[in-house]
């Protein structure tokens, strides 16, 4: 069995955290790491004790949901709350940080931002990261690496697709073949 890489491990943690999000527009997770150890995690959700987007809908002003505290901010605030230093730590985020989170990450001493997906990457955020010497590295999560039998499953589907002959091709079979090829990227 091949071990999951550190980047995939921490990015998977961020994706897992995002499942706790209470914002219906975008589920985001963030994991702060220092010396290959998780020191905090956060997801975008409402202020403690307040109404959640999943209950009352998003509160949108100027195209942004203002009801939630962003994942990166929640992770940083968790460190502040428990007295955990963030200087020279890294953060793994499911989406590229917004401008406000960019400033907070820089001010907190984060040295590298790993993100899985581009999301409205603001040019000024990119500029600020560059000026501060904060590296931004895209690390797309390999979802299949989380399935311990993904290789065997992929090979089985590939073999089954090869058994389907052109004579058997109908609209339904073609649809299933396309779906399997997209799902397993074969």
Q: Residue 10: which of 94, 72, 78 has the closest Cα?
A: 94
The rounded distance, in Å, linking the Cα atoms of 117 and 122 is: 13
Instruction: Exactly one of 72, 117, 140, 162 is catalytic; name it.
Output: 72
- How many Cβ atoms are within 10 Å of 147's Cβ, its own excluded? 11
8 A C-beta contact, residue 65 and residue 51: no
Is 72 assigned a catalytic role? yes
Tokens of 159: 């073999």
Task: Enumerate residues 6+ apart whose C-beta is below 8 A from 129.
Answer: 102, 106, 113, 135, 136
The rounded distance, in Å, linking the Cα atoms of 128 and 17 is: 26
Cβ burial of 92 (10 Å; 0-12, 13-18, 19+) is buried
Which residues does the annotation mark as catalytic?
A: 72
């Amino acid at each position: 069995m091949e071990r999951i890489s550190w980047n995939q491990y921490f990015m998977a943690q961020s994706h897992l955290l995002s499942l706790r999000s209470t914002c219906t527009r975008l589920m985001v997770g963030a994991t702060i790491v220092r010396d290959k150890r998780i020191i905090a995690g956060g997801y975008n959700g409402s202020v403690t004790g307040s109404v959640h987007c999943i209950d009352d809908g998003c509160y949108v002003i100027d195209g942004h949901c203002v009801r939630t505290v962003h994942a990166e901010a929640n992770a940083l605030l968790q460190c502040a709350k428990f007295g955990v230093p963030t200087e020279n730590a890294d953060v793994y985020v499911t989406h590229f940080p917004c401008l406000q989170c960019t400033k907070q990450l820089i001010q907190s001493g984060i040295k590298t931002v790993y993100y899985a997906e581009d999301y409205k990457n603001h040019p000024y955020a990119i500029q600020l990261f560059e000026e501060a010497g904060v590296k931004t590295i895209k690390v797309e999560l390999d979802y299949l690496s989380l399935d311990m039998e993904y290789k065997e499953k992929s090979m089985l589907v590939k073999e089954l697709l090869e058994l389907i002959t052109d004579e058997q091709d109908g609209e339904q079979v073609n649809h299933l073949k396309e779906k399997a090829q997209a799902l397993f990227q074969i």
